A and B are shown apart, each in its own frame.
Chain A
Amino acid sequence: MKINYQFDQQFINEFNHRLNENGPFASFEMFQMAYDTAKNLHVPDFEGLQSPQHLPQMEFLEHQLDTAKQVVEKMNGRAILADEVGLGKTIEAGLILKEYMIRGLAKKILILVPASLVNQWVKELNEKFYIPAVSQRKLYVWEQCDVVVSSIDTAKRSPHREIVLDQHYDFLIIDEAHKLKNHKTKNYQFVNSLKKTYCLLLTATPVQNQLSDIFNLVTILKPGFLGSYEEFTKTFGNKRTALKEDEKLKQLIQDVMVRNRREDTGIEWTKRNVETVWINFSDEEQKVYDQLDHELFSQDPFTSITLKREFCSSREALYLSLKKMFEEKAEKYKDEEWNQEIIQKIEQLPHHSKAQKVVDIIQDSTEKFIIFTEYRATQYYLQWYLQQHGISSVPFRGGFKRSKKEWMTQLFQNHAQVLVATEAGGEGINLQFCHNMIHYDLPWNPMRLEQRIGRVHRFGQKENVNIYYLAIKNTIDEHLVSLLYEKINLFERVIGDLDIILQQLNIPSLENEIKEIYAESETPGEARIKLENLTAAFQDAAQDEVDQDGTTSHS
């Protein structure tokens, strides 16, 4: 056996030079302190993790530390991190990377992530891990910065490509690595040509469609570990169920992949109690609602849908939007009497039926509530309406400065019963002291819904979380709730597998999909059938996901 051996010669050359020049020399104290510094920094053992000591402000979970240890000690720094969503793959990757940096094994580092996540990675690495990562904005960054975060799409394009392929990276991280499942794609070939020593692939779905997905991922890490492609398919076939059923394959994969599941983390997840609260519009309200189908909008179904959604939230939201519309398109509407008429009708409406229901719910309890609405106008209205009923509230918006968010959080915690928020916004804002949540209107984007819930239902929440969902009968709300939301258990579902299901169905945005269904349907009946079809497809895909994985994702 041969051990490569290197002895530092630079020191003695420089020292001789200084002796000839009579200095400069450090004082004895300086010299001694440098020696002590080196002693503080040296790592005397092969085993164990150093990184947690360097990150005292972080509280790591047991399975995250175990994963990091396993990758460093057993897998020699090349692994697929395939935890279920929400268990902290990014945290694990950060821990492992930090460990290699502390031990002086990683200096030049490349992190490839989807474009939309670049900034978040940069922020997390800097703030949580003190790793000076920068996003790739200028060409010189590739060579001059040690820790670079970029999207694959940027990195693989000329002139970046040539520079990136020329570097040797000590450490490579690829987030959302399931996008590399096809070995014929440019992305795959690009990643496979990168020069790298240690490497982590992050994905919640190591096998998405077929078994060869995992073969291709492992081949990036350890070519040949699963044999050649022919050998692999001959032995294991190409059914994705093999990953669950074939003992031999399972054994092999365990050496290159860590997959933690929610139920084996040992963390007690509190329950989500979901209640849909049905409300009827008053007759006056229903009349206004029906009028929004006015012929003026028939050429522009999107406008009609938007207005209806607004009215399901508050008359203020609708009023503002209508006013703006009439002003902006004065030409189009000036001869119509209808616009005066409807504005007047809106002005005469009493309180909104939903608002009264919110007051009922809150007055029944002494606990704190968070109310989410999509509209700023509704937020103002609700605060005013709650105040009329002697309920104290504070506002919260994604656009608030950090200090203001913290201030509002504190006010909410110590003085107010209700927080009325327009956005889930606010990474790191801790709202776990509250466990009641009212969704005042319906987000059509389920990701947003999950982000809202995630602010409250997360590690550290000790109580069961009560989620109220307000919907008005005989309106656009009803279709959504009864079909999409109830049938696919959107509330209980975890955001990650929703994401995957949407990918499989090839639906980039559920929100747009629904809007289009409404816009393109001639009658409410047609819209309902189309929504039902969508729901069915969704259920199939979800069922499939559960079968393949052997786990349900209902927490």
Chain B
Amino acid sequence: MEQQAIHNYLVNFFTLNKCEIKENESGKLTVTLNEDLDRLLMNRPFYWEYIKKIGQEGTPATLTFLSSPDRREEKGEWIHFGSPRLHQIFQSQLQQGRFTMQYEQTNRSSLQPWLVSNIRISYKGRQKKDEILSIGLQLINGTMVFNFMELIQDLSFSSVIPDYCYTISPIIRITSGYKRIENYIQQYIDSQKHEWAEDAFNHFNKEKEILNHFYESYLAASDEEDKEELTTRYQNELDHLQKRLMPEIQVETINGGLFYLSEETKNQVIKGLH
């Protein structure tokens, strides 16, 4: 993530969290937190406990973030992609933005329900990589659209239904919709060649053989009591080996929600497929 992108990200984050931005120059951002964010970022629970006990409001901290390397010497906090502070904010953002329900802002239209699920697939072999998919599933006829977030990013939404609009009830239930997405992901994974997994599995087998040989030679030479201990140790080692080299795919939903979209938008996002 570039320094400029981090600056913009922070501006968005604090604006969305309704914090007062006192200074927003290139490479420098000063912001007064609100109570929630102060509790999250400043790590001073005793202050808040005390202030509440004496019946006062409390004063949230004001922070200055420096993102331009030219300004590093100024007073404030140097922020970059590895900053623990930024990662606190990332985690908070992931938590806060996990579930949603939105209506498209439009005129006189029927609104159709879509289940949106943003998914991270993690492939873990000798190393690990991630892939992110954004999937929208129309809950009337089951149409599935990919890159969904990118396709709807410029539309405006609201949490209340706009005037002169009405919603169509889902035909596919949310849970079965999610199941369809799961099935799709399964197919998607099955359709790939997983050389990384074969590679990891070969390594696993090779190391397992070595391990077997090692313990067999000791087992053969040991008495009953030692045998038990050796067997436990062997099981442990095998378990460690599995954790380290057995290929694994984890699918996790980053966030998701129910979206009501107009007929017109539906046609556009479906075209976005092609």
Given that A25-B159, A28-B102 are known contacts, is A38 also in contact with B94, CB under 8 Å in the complex?
Answer: yes
Which residues does chain B contribute within 8 Å of A45, judged by CB atoms?
129
Q: Is the CB of B174 within 8 A of A223?
A: no
Contact pattern, A 400-443, Cβ under 8 Å of B = 1, otherwise 0: 00000000000000000000000000000000000000000000
Interface residues of B in 136-170 (CB under 8 A from A): 149, 153, 156-159
| B201 shortest CB reach to chain A, Å | 5
Contact pattern, A 28-56, Cβ under 8 Å of B = 1, otherwise 0: 11111111111111111111000001111
Given that A35-B254, A46-B196, A130-B83 are known contacts, is A40 also in contact with B210, CB under 8 Å in the complex?
Answer: no
Which residues does chain B contribute within 8 Å of A225, judged by CB atoms?
210
Q: Is the CB of A29 within 8 A of B16?
A: yes
Tell me the total A-B contact number using a CB cutoff of 8 A.
Answer: 205
Interface size on A, residues (CB 8 A): 69
Q: Is the CB of A78 within 8 A of B244?
A: yes
Complex: how many Å from CA A76 to CA B254?
28
| A91 shortest CB reach to chain B, Å | 15
The stretch of A191-199, A275-283, A474-482, A531-539 in contact with B is A191-199
The stretch of B30-38, B46-54, B117-125, B264-272 in contact with A is B117-125
Which residues does chain A contribute within 8 Å of B156, judged by CB atoms?
28
Interface residues of A in 1-49 (CB under 8 A from B): 1-8, 11-12, 14-16, 18-19, 23-47
Which residues does chain A contribute within 8 Å of B213, judged by CB atoms?
224, 227-228
| A509 shortest CB reach to chain B, Å | 38
A77: Cβ under 8 A from any B Cβ: yes
Which residues does chain A contribute within 8 Å of B246, judged by CB atoms?
4
Given that A35-B149, A37-B90, A103-B127 are known contacts, is A15 also in contact with B159, CB under 8 Å in the complex?
Answer: no
Residue of A with least CB distance to B126:
A76
Q: Is the CB of B97 within 8 A of A6?
A: no
Complex: how many Å from CA A307 to CA B114?
87
Q: Is the CB of A38 within 8 A of B214?
A: no
Q: Is the CB of B130 within 8 A of A12?
A: no
| B90 shortest CB reach to chain A, Å | 5
Contact pattern, A 201-230, Cβ under 8 Å of B = 1, otherwise 0: 000000000000000000000111101101
Residue of A with least CB distance to B17:
A30
Q: Is the CB of A35 within 8 A of B127?
A: no
Given that A1-B198, A12-B178, A105-B128 are known contacts, is A34 also in contact with B218, CB under 8 Å in the complex?
Answer: no
What are 13 A-B contacts with C-beta separation under 8 Å?
Answer: A3-B194, A4-B247, A8-B250, A11-B252, A27-B100, A32-B97, A38-B254, A40-B1, A41-B90, A44-B129, A57-B78, A73-B126, A225-B210
| Chain B residues proximal to chain A, CB less than 8 Å | 1, 9, 12-13, 16, 78, 80-84, 90, 93-94, 96-102, 117-118, 120, 122-132, 134, 149, 153, 156-159, 174-175, 178, 182, 185-186, 189, 194, 196-198, 201, 203, 207, 210-215, 217-218, 233, 236-237, 239-240, 243-258
Known: A7-B251, A224-B213, A227-B213. 14 other contacts (CB 8 A): A1-B247, A11-B252, A19-B174, A25-B159, A26-B100, A26-B257, A27-B159, A34-B98, A37-B93, A38-B120, A43-B129, A44-B130, A56-B82, A197-B240
